[in-house]
């Protein structure tokens, strides 16, 4: 990897949007998918950033994803709605769902939306942050195809099943965005591309034996190491909210993300929720409590050579640096960009 592969964030955004539109995707798909990927890349969540563009283009071209989806409300009552994403790229339904959840929370104090017939939606935090930007607490769940063994298990069972929560605060939101596996499988693929050795205890081979070789990794370990039963249970929480509650496909029944079938929709579900602090008390009180909490947290004593950070602090720091200096893309992502730029007749990002 060289300095020549450093790309500005605006140019990456332009390239992604141009690629979707050149393939024939509608404007909402181009906007939603690009916004979600750029959230990941901007905040340093590279496993769920623009490296996903070639995959999404392949799925759109193959028919797995609908180039021109028409999401619609199916039902619900009060503060709850159910939406059908019409087999859209996953960010389309998730952004639509959170927009409605925010509107419902403005009316009822809380808004919850289940999304049916979606697909892989990238970084869960992208949608939780939408609520925080609107002054609300956002919660997001999604399941995915099986990559993660159970605690003491030796087969793929849950997906990486992310959980994201974002809360409004002075400046950037407090942001938790976590896989319930030790790491996401996209990170294994990123490490394969970079030739990096995996950390201890995060992945297993086909027999369920731990491995640090990214090329030998067949399944992920649940979050928690020796206490992985906690990560496995958290994955179950995401499974219940995103798939069981919405009537969509369970992780072990979802078609593999990587194919080979790129024509059949995967019928995935997700769940988003917005909570309005003003339904529980006055805004000034909430803001003051958040400020006091974060100030005390960030200034609490740290171990020698360490610094205490709130969830999201590291990501917002990365975002500030990348907004100024751009981002270095890994070789596999660059090769994918070049392939699709040639195929679609669009201009590669400046490097």
Write out the two tokens for 321: 């640096």
> Would you state the pLDDT for residue 184?
79
- Asked whether the beta carbons of 310 and 293 are under 8 A apart, the reply is no
Specify the residue for token string 């989806």: 69
Q: CA angle 190-196-197, nearest 5°?
A: 115
Calpha distance 162→150 (Å, rounded): 15
Domain ranges, ordered by start, for the chain: 3-282+328-344
SS (H, E, C) 31-86: HHHHHHHHHHHHCCCHHHCHHHHHHHHHHHHHCCCCCCCCCEEEEEECCEEEEECC
- Asked whether the beta carbons of 77 and 69 are under 8 A apart, the reply is no
Q: What own/partner pairs with CB < 8 Å and gap ≥ 24 does 49-53 have?
A: 49/122, 49/123, 50/12, 50/16, 50/329, 50/333, 51/186, 51/190, 51/329, 51/330, 51/332, 51/333, 51/336, 52/120, 52/122, 52/186, 53/16, 53/19, 53/333, 53/336, 53/337, 53/340
Rg of the chain over CA atoms, in angstroms?
A: 20
SS (H, E, C) 184-237: CHHHHHHHHHHCCCCCCCCEECCCCCECCCCCCCCEECECCHHHHHHHHHHHHH
Calpha distance 210→217 (Å, rounded): 8
> Would you state the pLDDT for residue 1?
38
Which are the contacts of 265, defined by CB distance < 8 A and separation ≥ 6? 64, 65, 66, 87, 117, 119
Going residue by residue through the chain (351 aa), what tens digit of pLDDT does each one get?
A: 344 579 999 999 999 999 999 999 999 999 999 999 999 999 999 989 999 999 999 999 999 999 999 999 999 999 999 999 999 999 999 999 999 999 999 999 999 999 999 999 999 999 999 999 999 999 999 999 999 999 999 999 999 999 999 999 999 999 999 999 998 787 888 888 889 999 999 999 998 899 999 999 999 999 998 899 999 999 999 999 999 999 999 999 999 999 999 999 999 999 999 999 999 999 999 999 999 999 999 999 999 999 999 999 999 999 999 999 999 998 889 999 999 999 999 999 988
Write out the two tokens for 254: 């979802």
Which are the contacts of 146, defined by CB distance < 8 A and separation ≥ 6? 156, 157, 158, 159, 251, 252, 254
| CA-wise closest residue to 186 among 285, 40, 65, 8 | 40
pTM: 0.94
Calpha distance 120→298 (Å, rounded): 34
Phi, psi of 82 (to 5 degrees): -120, 130
Fold of 3-282+328-344: Ribosomal Protein S8; Chain: A, domain 1 (3.30.1370)
Write out the two tokens for 206: 């086909």
Q: CA angle 27-33-37, nearest 5°?
A: 145
């Amino acid at each position: 990897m060289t300095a020549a592969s450093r790309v500005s964030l605006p140019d990456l955004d332009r390239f992604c949007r141009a690629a979707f539109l050149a393939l024939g995707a509608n404007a909402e798909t181009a906007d939603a998918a690009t916004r979600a990927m750029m959230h990941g890349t901007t905040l340093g969540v590279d496993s769920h950033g623009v490296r996903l563009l070639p995959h999404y283009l392949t799925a759109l071209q193959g028919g797995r994803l609908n180039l021109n989806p028409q999401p619609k409300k199916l039902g619900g009552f009060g503060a709850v709605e159910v939406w059908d994403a019409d087999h859209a790229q996953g960010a389309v339904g998730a952004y639509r769902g959170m927009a409605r959840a925010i509107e419902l929370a403005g009316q009822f104090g809380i808004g919850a939306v289940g999304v049916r017939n979606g697909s892989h939606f990238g970084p869960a935090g992208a949608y939780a942050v939408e609520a925080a930007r609107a002054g609300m607490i956002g919660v997001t769940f999604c399941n995915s195809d099986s990559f993660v063994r159970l605690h003491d298990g030796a087969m793929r069972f849950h997906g990486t099943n992310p959980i994201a929560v974002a809360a409004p605060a002075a400046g950037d939101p407090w942001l938790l965005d976590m896989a319930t596996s030790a790491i996401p499988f996209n990170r294994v693929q990123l490490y394969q591309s970079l030739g990096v050795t995996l950390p201890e205890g995060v992945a297993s081979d086909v027999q369920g034996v731990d491995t640090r070789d990214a090329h030998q990794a067949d399944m992920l370990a649940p979050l928690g190491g020796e206490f992985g039963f906690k990560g496995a249970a958290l994955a179950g929480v995401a499974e219940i909210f995103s798939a069981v509650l919405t009537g969509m496909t369970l992780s072990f029944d979802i078609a593999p993300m990587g194919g080979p079938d790129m024509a059949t929709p995967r019928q995935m579900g997700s769940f988003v929720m917005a909570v309005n602090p003003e339904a529980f008390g006055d805004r000034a009180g909430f803001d003051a409590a958040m400020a006091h909490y974060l100030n005390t947290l960030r200034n609490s004593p740290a171990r020698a050579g360490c610094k205490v950070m709130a969830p999201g602090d590291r990501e917002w720091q990365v975002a500030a640096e990348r907004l100024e200096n751009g981002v270095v893309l890994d070789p596999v992502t660059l090769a994918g960009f070049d392939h699709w730029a040639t195929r679609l007749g669009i201009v590669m990002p400046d490097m």
